[in-house]
Each structure stands twice: as structure tokens, then as C-alpha cells.
Structure 1
Amino acid sequence: MLENTEIQILEEVSRSRRGTVFFVDNFLRIATAKTVAKALERLVQDGKLYRAATGMYVRPVEDEVIGPILPDIETIAAAIAKRDKARIVPTGSYALYKLGLTTQVPLNIVYYTDASPRKVTVGKQTITFKKASARSLAATGEISKLVIQALRTLGKDKVTADELRLIGERLKDEKPYHLQHDINVAPEWIRQLLRPLINTRMHD
């Protein structure tokens, strides 16, 4: 039974793009959760799958020089959000890093979520999911939602001219519809900072 479960799991995994993150839940139509978990652990021991984090498995991308490449933090966070049917938004120092406002990669990456709060350890890094209000998760633009969280982190009256200039440059790549929507759901002090940047963009 267990060997047959392993074969079916590998067949399903092989049909997916390398680097895709899998959970026990993905294979419950094959066998019970307990049997699937045991099969996955045996596949890891045999080197046919890798454990990306606790309870998460992957057939990694293979690089000719450096060997297997495991998914990055963002891919794992997105996979968790998809499984939980949750919204997530990068916050704090990770939002600053994603925008290029800092070059320091944070070891503790924090996401707001509308699902249950949790922590996931990935190598030396930790993903922390913090339960947040619907308003904190209302932004829809990939860039503008980062901008809102980055500005929250920097703080009111503490944003420098250079930071605003860089933010303005990044916002040029945001879709107008998402940008307008996200300004409307942002705190008023953030709206006041962003409106001049958007007006400049419109006249460029």
C-alpha cells in the first residue's frame, strides 16, 4: 500500500513544474493523510523529493553547476496562501527589501494574512504570518501594496525625499487601476504622500 502510494505521488509530482511546493493535502485522494505523510517521508529519504520546510515537499529545479535549487521564501509563502485560500501581504523590512529601499535581506519575513497566524522555518529564515484586519489586506496592486506597507514601516514624517523618489519610480510600473484602488484604501497620511507622485506620473 505504502509503495503504491509513493509511486502515485511521484507520478503526480512529475507532471507539475519543478519547484512546485506540495503538502500532504495535495495527495489525500490517493491515500489517508497518515499514509501520504509516511510516503512523502520515504521519498525524501530516498532523495526523490526534498523537504522545503516542515510539511512541505518539492521536486527541486536542477542546476548543472550548483545542483538542486529549493523554492525561495516567497514561493513557499505563496504556496501556503494558496493552500489556505488566504490573502497575504509582505510587511516590514521585507516590503522595504522588495521595493529596493534596503539591500539587507531580513531573516524574519512577516506577512499579514486573513488566515490563522503561524511561523514557518525555512533554512535560516522564518516566515511569520500575522492575522490582520481586512483593511490591511485590501490593496490589490503587486507594487502599491508593498509601498503602503513600506511606508507604514518607515513611519509618518520619517520618509526621506530619496525614499519617496524611489517609490515614485517603482509606482510607474503599477497598473493604474490597482494604483487608484490602493490609494483609496491607504491611510490618509500615506495618500498625501502618494498623490503628488501619481500626479507627476500622469504628467510624464
Structure 2
Amino acid sequence: MRAKSSTEVRQFVARQPEGEPFFPTELLLYGTRASIDQALSRLTSNGVIERVARGVYVKPRRGRIVNRAPPSPVTVARTSARARGIPVTTPGAQVLVEYDLSTQTPVTAVLSAG
């Protein structure tokens, strides 16, 4: 693996917000898929990032009560759709909750593709 691609991957991960999932395909401009996978594997082994699903990584979010809080399934689904170029919309009631305009939380989260 080129040292340059490994450094670029580390810099990309350092810029990621805590708790925001990302995919290896977002890093392909830094090197080959094999070198990206190797760099991600090393970062995972060192505890810098976590693998939350196949091909989905996240920089752990530190909570006040829990040391590491995983991203919500909705956040992972949105990131997955973005990586695949699928437009995702959120129903109005859920948008109100996300922007703290309502306290009435929907029972289930719904995402619509298309």
C-alpha cells in the first residue's frame, strides 16, 4: 500500500463527524480499493473507527453516559442510499422532530426512496 493513500484515508477519517457513517467507496480517489480496505482495517484495529455493517464505517461518537454510541439505523440507511445515488425523503412529521419543531415523535422511522 502506498503511504500516501494511507495518510489521505486517515485525514479523511479525521474530518468525519463523530457518529456519521461513511463507505469505502467515498475514499476511492485516494487509492485502489485494496489499499483503502487495508487502511480502514488498520484504523478499525486501532479503535479509530468502527465497522457498523458490511462496508459501513463510523468514527465512534462519545456520549456522556455511554462511552460509544452507535449511529441510528436511519442514519446508516440515509448514508447507504447517498452512497448508491438513491434519493431519500423523510416524511413531514419526522422532519419536524429532527428540527425540534415538534415533540411528538413518530413510532417508527420511515424513509422513502425516489
Normalised TM-score (structure 2): 0.72
1:81 is displaced (CA, Å) by 0.9
SS at the partner of 2:62?
strand
What is the aligned partner in structure 2 of residue 197 from structure 1?
none
Relative distance call for 1:47 and 1:111 in structure 2 (3 A) is same
Q: Give 5+ residue unaligned stretches, structure 2.
A: 91-104
What is the aligned partner in structure 2 of residue 99 from structure 1?
106
Greater RCO between the two (CA within 8 Å, min separation 6)?
2
1:30 aligns with 2:35: no
What is the aligned partner in structure 1 of residue 77 from structure 2?
77
Cα distance in structure 1, aligned partners of 2:25 and 2:74: 20
Higher strand share: 1
Q: Is the 8 A contact 1:19 1:59 kept in 2?
A: yes
**Residue type matched to 2:57 in 1?**
Y
SS at the partner of 2:29?
coil
What is the aligned partner in structure 2 of residue 154 from structure 1?
none
Cα distance in structure 2, aligned partners of 1:82 and 1:29: 17
1:89 is displaced (CA, Å) by 6.1
**Residue type matched to 1:5 in 2?**
S
Q: Deviations over 1:74-112 (max 9, x none)?
A: 00000011111113468xxxxxxx733xxxx7xxx9866
SS at the partner of 2:12?
helix
SS at the partner of 2:18?
coil
Backbone CA RMSD of aligned residues: 2.4
Cα distance in structure 2, aligned partners of 1:3 and 1:47: 20
1:118-197 matches, within 5 Å, as 137=114
Relative distance call for 1:41 and 1:68 in structure 2 (3 A) is same
Q: Is the 8 A contact 1:50 1:57 kept in 2?
A: yes
1:53 aligns with 2:60: no
Q: Is the 8 A contact 1:5 1:31 kept in 2?
A: yes
Q: Is the 8 A contact 2:49 2:59 kept in 1?
A: yes
